[in-house]
Amino acid sequence: MFEKTCWVGLPAQELEQKKIYQGDLNGRFAYYRCTAHLQQSAHLSLKITANARYRLWVNEHPVTSGPCKGDLDRWYYDTVDVSEYLRPGKNLLAVQVLFLDHYSTTFQEDTRSPIFSVVAPGGTHRLAVEGTAYNPDGSAVDISTGNADWKCFLDSSRYLSNQQPTIYMGATCEEIDFDSLPHQWKQADFDDSGWGMPEKLEPVMPSEYMRRVGLRQRFPMHGRPIPPMYEINCTFAHPGMLKSPVTIPAKGRRTFLLDAETEVNGYPDFHFTGGRGSTVQITYFEKFTGPHAANKADPNGEISGITDTLHLNGDDIRFEPFWYKTFRFVSIQVDAEEETTIFPPTYRKTGYPLKRISNVQSSETWVKEVYDICVRTLENCMMETYMDCPFYEQNQFPMDTRLQALFCSAVSGDMRLTYKALEEFHSCITPDGLVHGRYPASYQQIISTFSLHYIFMLEETWQQTGDIAPLRRYLPDLDRILNYYDERIGEDGLVGRLGWWEFVDWQPAWAEIAGIPEALLHGPSSIINLMYALALEQAAVLWDAAGRGYLADEYRKRKDAVIKQVYTLCWDAARGMVREGPEFYQFTQHAQSWAVLTGMLKGEQARDALLHSLKEDDVLKCSFSTSYELFRALEMTGLYQQTRVNMMSWANLPQLGNTTCPETPEDSRSECHAWSALPIYEFLRVMSGVRIEAGKVIITPFSGYLKDFSGTICIPGGTANFTYTDQVYTITLSTGTEATLYDPDGNHQKLTGAHTYSVQIN
């Protein structure tokens, strides 16, 4: 692996010629080309990486983007077989490299601030490629950097930009003047005689001396831990007036609206001819807004999105954005200086290759609609990491990721992205004992409550797999995080201010304090103390699984002490609910839910508190993102029927014009936010009656509130097919799997694969 390969970079004369130096390289592109003369049916597999991002073409075919997002301790390389793109004769490998340098930019102020979720160590545009093409006659052609004749060019005409750094933390835009850009550089017959030879830098892998004395590489190389992102050629479902080429006359203006029908991630491909001096503005957006829009899909509304601007030069122009775009709609405005022809655009849909195994059906049509919307949301928020939302931020937050991991496991059983996320959260823990609020990230952020969600995610990962071995290395993190909280317990026995961002939920009542419980302005918050208590309990579960019961006992004693104080100081007997603080008279569904989940409230007292929180108008209600705990509390107390009202918020999404789950049902910023895809879990892990506990399949027939329900559920080692109709629940496991079935009377029996079992539910 890269044993005889060197990094290559831009030579000093290239920087001097373009008058671009360190500090002005951020967001700029370098182009690398390598030609190889091959025979028919030649074979070529590449290992490739770059600083900080690359996109690879072979003979003008877009192949892949990378490297996989990592951090300064894990620099990933990709392995790509490009044989299908080769042809007899002259072949061209073309690599576009983006350099990102957050050291030379200022967050909130610099529109050239780098993509937040890409971490890079600085330096300059670097490329490393290793590969040998083998011809059928046995001859070989080495195309490795440092050995083959690569050429390079620094593009001084443009840079990747950010329209609003505090919002568009991941999304980018480009402005390109094709008079200044060698836009045909990906073609094999392009004249690159004026291009320079890249500078040969250090070997990709450390020398024997470096290994022996423990010197750390600047780029510690690791193979990609997840599969490559898929790319599929697609056409727009509703291309409007662009079903065929359209010519705009000189001095004319035309605007075209394209609709992909659903929100997608992709690399759009635009094609123009003629039009020297013409300007094209391409705006990608999720929804229509404003008072004239009947819903989010109504084109009478206003457009607000991310815009690429192209200045044509009269040539035959193909434009594909370097970074993928998220869109349902695309608006193209052409201001033609000279006659300009635009061809029907296409796009290459991209994302993590999530394999849908689970599915559900019901005669209540909203069930399938909601399930598809939620799974589409999950898919759109999975790339090289989990993401909160693909359109704006593209960041991996522990709170969002914890829920996405649960949903992903239920849909496909694929744990690879989950394990990658856990490794990343583990790697970013601070000396104080908190994980970063988002990671990987070029700018550090601490959201102090999100460290608890990291603990929840660890415990839930163990529950889904029953395998403690891959989690053992993260268990010391439990003590560091919980100790941070323990150190902030005051004389009243409750955790007080945590510091950093103490986010819980985007509540309108807490909007001015950025989602922080208002109680914290007056003393402790019962929500945060109860979250801490549940984290202590789940940490105890993990230590039990690891065979360290003494630590589990300690954590449970600390948990009991916390919930005792919350009950003593925050229980309001007159209202039958937990107050938000000892002396702060605000009530929330959140506090009641966490009180039930921790076991502080039980039996009728728990049921009554939840019912009060559902019915009383002054109680702050859980948003999409915090409904998971509410649903679990209602489930624990036998009140799951009450979730139907909440579920109708998802059932109404198609009427609002949504094809994915928004961050909030109304007035949402993001229209695709996977922490809102909760119905996935409800359908697949609750209403189906198929649960996973400590890696074991538990069947608990459950009617929910659907008169009929059926589907296929992903379980460890296979699938389970279930139906519920006419109060009869039937389950069939795939061959080689087993489960334990608990009937409504509390009896249980072992189930084995390839057999069908039925249970009457009253």
Tokens of 468: 């403690």
Judge whether residue 107 has pLDDT over 90.
no
Mean pLDDT of 734-754: 91
pLDDT at 349: 98
Helix runs in 354-490, H state only: 365-380, 398-412, 416-427, 450-465, 475-486
DSSP calls for 552-576: HHHHHHHHHHHHHHHHHHHEETTTT
Q: Which residues contact 108 (CB under 8 A, 6 or more apart)?
A: 165, 166
Helix runs in 506-602, H state only: 526-545, 549-570, 589-597
pLDDT at 60: 96
Mean pLDDT of 338-353: 98
pLDDT at 207: 86
* pLDDT tens digits along 34-48: 999 999 999 999 999
Rounded to the nearest 5 degrees, what angle is found at the Cα of 588, between the Cα atoms of 582 and 590?
100
3-state SS assignment for residue 187:
coil
* pLDDT tens digits along 447-501: 999 999 999 999 999 999 999 999 999 999 999 999 999 999 999 999 999 999 9
Average pLDDT, the chain: 95
* pLDDT tens digits along 544-567: 999 999 999 999 999 999 999 999
Give kind and range of the element (H or E) at residue 607: helix 603-615
Confidence of residue 574 (pLDDT cuts 50, 70, 90): very high
Pairing, β 75-81 against β 221-223: parallel
Q: How many CA atoms lie within 13 A of 335 on its CB side?
A: 7
Q: Which residue shows structure tokens 């003979």?
A: 59
**Do residues 174 and 337 touch, judged by C-beta distance below 8 A?**
no
pLDDT at 414: 97
Nearest to 758 by CA among 716, 727, 717, 718: 727
* pLDDT tens digits along 633-671: 999 999 999 999 999 999 999 999 999 999 987 778 899
Q: How many other CB atoms are found less than 10 A from the CB of residue 604?
A: 9
* pLDDT tens digits along 150-189: 999 999 999 888 877 777 888 899 999 999 999 899 999 9
CA distances from 603 to 578, 606, 667 (A): 15, 5, 37
Report DSSP state, residue 520.
G
Give kind and range of the element (H or E) at residue 630: helix 627-636
Sign of CA dihedral 338, 343, 345, 346: negative
pLDDT at 743: 86
Q: How many CA atoms lie within 13 A of 184 on its CB side?
A: 11
pLDDT at 590: 98
Tokens of 402: 């914890």
* pLDDT tens digits along 672-688: 999 999 999 999 999 99
What span, in angstroms and rounded, lies between the C-alpha atoms of 751 and 275? 69
pLDDT at 108: 66
